[in-house]
Structure 1
Amino acid sequence: PFGGAAGGGFDMQDIFDQFFGGGGRGRGGSRARQGQDLKTSIEIDLQEAYEGVEKELTITRPETCGECNGEGHPPGADSRTCPECEGRGQTTRVQQTPMGRVQQTTTCPRCEGEGTLYEETCSSCRGEGVVRNEATLSVEIPAGIDDGQTLRMEREGAPGENGGPNGDLLIEVSIEDHPDFDRDGADLQYHEAVTFPQVVFGDTIEVPTLDGPVELDVPSGTQSGETFRLKDKGMPRLRRRGSGDLYVTIQVYTPDSLTDEQRDALEAFAEASGEDIEVEQGFFEKLKNSL
């Protein structure tokens, strides 16, 4: 969906022109105006946001009519001087105010500032001077962009009025959720499941990053829920040097079932630890709660 760019307040040039008939105007007496900004959106995945990507985007937007070159009438159409403004493109009226008589000048409503009326209108744009066309654009999405940020493509918006420049195209970027990583600005978070013996004895494990797998040393005695930081393994910092970090949280995996050999070994472990419990009667639940 498209819409004009947000903007509020007063145009001081318009106020000045209305009261004093100021200059800076294009043909027919109407001031050149920049076209409206248009808005659209695009979705990418986290890997594309990490690396940066070029995407094609197809939009439907207003463009200057090619048949009449934005004039609103066929070339060579018969014309006559607008009787309301007498060809000036503006109408003037005098208003009595507490400060005295003020002359107010506005764009002629009949000829819309042209100063001329034409006997024919363009069949393609029906006299509007613009048509809606489909356009395919190539947009460069920089590495490190975050969800909800907006890119601006200059002069790819709606055409200007009276010779003014086109507006811009604003593209809001949304990033799909990743199955493994959670993002917090430039940092990433990852949860790695390990076994009880791995945290008891220590181990070197392989964890994924967006730039390929890396090794992580899990020291002996690591507790479930403990987090390790991998420096510069997060997202690139947009428009800044360096990258965020990857935080790996260790979670001890508790098996749902045991072999006879595993059960005997854990019963021996429980006995050696002074635990008077049966493995089948909640040892793992108690172990899980203690980690």
Structure 2
Amino acid sequence: MQTTTTCNFCHGTGEVIKHRPNGSDVEGLIFEEQVVSIKIPAGVEQGMQLRISGKGNEAPGNNGIAADLIVQVEEVEHKYLKREGENLHYDLYISFAEAALGIKKEVDTVSGKASIKLESGIQSGKILRLKGKGLPNINRYGYGDLFVHVNVWTPQQLDSKQKAFFKKMLGDENFVPAPSSSEKSFFQKMKEMFN
């Protein structure tokens, strides 16, 4: 009867390292951690992988050639901006008075702030598009857009003067909802956004 096993000295490589460096294992390898600086291109998305050539592990029997290091991108969610591909979405909350009178507001973008003018009478649910204020496209030139979703904040507690003012406005024709046929409902806007 005959058995075959791997050599305890060379581990099947056919070579024995006579002068191993201090701290190396039986294969002559030294375990070492290294900090690698990498350039992350603008516009990368959650789950994308970046390959850094020659910065991976070196394997025995591979003539000391290092493999590639694979970096998987994990995106941290922004406090105000929500990502959808290269486009961004921002919820802007304004008061009832600001909606009625119109106002200039600043909104967050990836590169700082952008100023927008809200016309008087703007409605809650209106979506404003700031062209080119989104993220860069990683596969081609250009930038996505920033969509500003206008939300009119209705006061939840009124004092007696404020209540009296709004009671006066109840019968006023300017305060009676009268959507035009060209205006889209919230559900129509949502349907278009997802189609």
TM-score (normalizing by structure 1): 0.52
Per-residue deviation at 1:220? Answer: 3.2
Q: Does 1:151 align with 2:151?
A: no
- In 1, Cα distance between equivalents of 2:130 and 2:150: 13
Computing the radius of gyration from Cα coordinates, the structure with the larger value is 1
Residue 30 of structure 2 is aligned to residue 131 of structure 1: yes
SS at match of 1:132: coil
Cα offset for 1:126?
A: 3.4
Gaps of 5+ in 2: 176-195
Q: CA deviation at 1:219?
A: 2.6
Q: Pick the structure with more strand per residue.
A: 1
Structure 1, unaligned stretches of length 5 or more?
1-107, 276-291
Counterpart code for 2:36: L
Q: What is the aligned counterpart of 2:151 among 238, 245, 251?
A: 251
When residues 158 and 271 of structure 1 are mapped into structure 2, their CA distance, relative to the original with a 3 A threshold, is: same
Matching of residues 262-273 of structure 1 within 5 Å: 262-273=162-173
Which of 172, 187, 203 is the aligned partner of 2:103? 203
Q: In structure 1, how many angstroms separate the alpha carbons of the residues matched to 2:107 and 2:84?
A: 19
CA distance in 2, matches of 1:135, 1:274: 68
Query: Does residue 63 of structure 2 align to residue 163 of structure 1?
Result: yes
| Partners of 2:107 and 2:122 in 1: CA distance | 16
Q: Distance in 2 between matches of 1:220 and 1:257?
A: 24
Separation in structure 2 between the aligned mates of residue 131 and residue 118 of structure 1, nearest angstrom: 13
Cα distance in 2 between the residues matched to 1:151 and 1:179: 25
SS of residue in 2 equivalent to 1:152: strand
Query: Structure 1 162/206 Cα, relative in aligned 2: closer, same or farther at 3 Å?
Result: closer
- When residues 120 and 193 of structure 1 are mapped into structure 2, their CA distance, relative to the original with a 3 A threshold, is closer
AA paired with 1:187?
N
Other structure's SS at 2:37 match? strand
Does structure 1 residue 224 correspond to structure 2 residue 128?
A: no
Q: What is the DSSP-based 3-state SS (H/G/I as helix, E as strand, rest coil) of the residue aligned with 2:73?
A: strand
Quick one: percent identity of the two aligned structures? 31
Q: 1:242, 1:274 → 2: CA distance?
A: 43
Counterparts of 1:119 and 1:250 in 2: how far apart (Å)? 74
| Alignment RMSD | 2.6
